Amino acid sequence: MELTPESLRLYLVTDPKLCPGPALIETVTAAVRGGVSFVQLRDKDASTHDRIEAARVLKNALSGTGVPLVINDDLDAIVAADVDGVHIGQEDVAPAIARRRLGRDKIIGLSCETSHQVAAADANLVDYLGLGTVFPTSTKTDHKSTIGLDGLCDMVRFAQVPTVAIGGLKQEHAAEVLGTGCNGIAVVSAICGQPDPEGAARDLCRAMHPKNEDPK
């Protein structure tokens, strides 16, 4: 699947604690109806077998929507489930290894926590960058210090590929994040675990646009 900057507009990262078991598929399908444009299956504690099974169910549910599905840091699961790609961190498998294993047709996303990491990212190897952590978040406790909106703005300037911001982002941050030049926002708890994931996604989409501008 070809990645466009618009694909990153509203990026959902799943959380097994906030949407366990059957709630995963229910949350994702509802969120996509509400406007989510990209999905990352993230479960650091799951086995590869369980990731494959979950990915296959999600892939089937997303069929025909045009919404890309990537798996966090598990190349074996990506190959077996034949999803759209992988998202990796700085301490995960190297982008060059991931590209050799997955080929040119798969999406590779890379997390960056500093401007130096952004500048070092090879546009021939990675398709997009996840920038953050912007604000404190309880869904990922092993991140380095937060960068805030000013830090995000600095990082975007060095990017050679599309970018998505992540880390403690909620509806009230949406327009400001896009104002830094980021192509989109990534959220976890702003959708996962919410009583109405579809409505939460729709509200996030609306918040990305000034009041006098209709969403496209």
pLDDT of residue 31 exceeding 50? yes
Paired tokens of 84? 């759209």
Question: Residue 216: is its pLDDT beyond 50?
Answer: no
3-state secondary structure of 104: coil
pLDDT at position 2 is 82
Buried b (16+ CB within 10 A) or exposed e, 127-159: bbbbbbbbbebebbeebeebbebebbbbbbebb
How do the domains of the chain map onto residue ranges?
5-207
Helices within the chain (DSSP H only): 23-34, 48-62, 75-81, 95-102, 115-120, 148-156, 174-179, 197-207
pLDDT tens per residue, range 165-200: 999 999 999 999 999 999 999 999 999 999 999 999
pTM of the model: 0.94
Tokens of 26: 């229910």
> Does the pLDDT of residue 95 top 90, yes or no?
yes
In DSSP notation, 140-190 reads -TT-----HHHHHHHHHTT-SS-EEEESS--GGGHHHHHHTT-SEEEESTT
Confidence of residue 137 (pLDDT cuts 50, 70, 90): confident
pLDDT 10s digits, 36-90: 999 999 999 999 999 999 999 999 999 999 999 999 999 999 999 999 999 999 9
From 156, 157, 204, 194, select the one nearest 165 (Cα to Cα).
156
Q: Which residues contact 184 (CB under 8 A, 6 or more apart)?
A: 5, 7, 8, 9, 10, 11, 37, 38, 162, 163, 164, 165, 178
Does pLDDT of 215 surpass 60? Answer: no
Tokens of residue 131, six digits: 């920038």
Active site residues: 42, 111, 140
Convert the pLDDT of each residue in 141-163 to its tens digit: 555 689 999 999 999 999 999 99
Q: Is 171 left (phi over 0), alpha (psi -120 to 50) or beta?
A: alpha
What CATH number matches the domain at 5-207, 2.60.40.1080, 3.30.420.40, 3.30.70.360, 3.20.20.70?
3.20.20.70
Q: Please tell me the distance from the alpha carbon of residue 40 to that of residue 193, in angstroms, as a whole number.
A: 16
Per the rule left: phi > 0, alpha: psi between -120 and 50, beta: everything else, 66 is: left
pLDDT, average across residues 92-100: 97
What pLDDT is stored for residue 144 in this prediction?
67
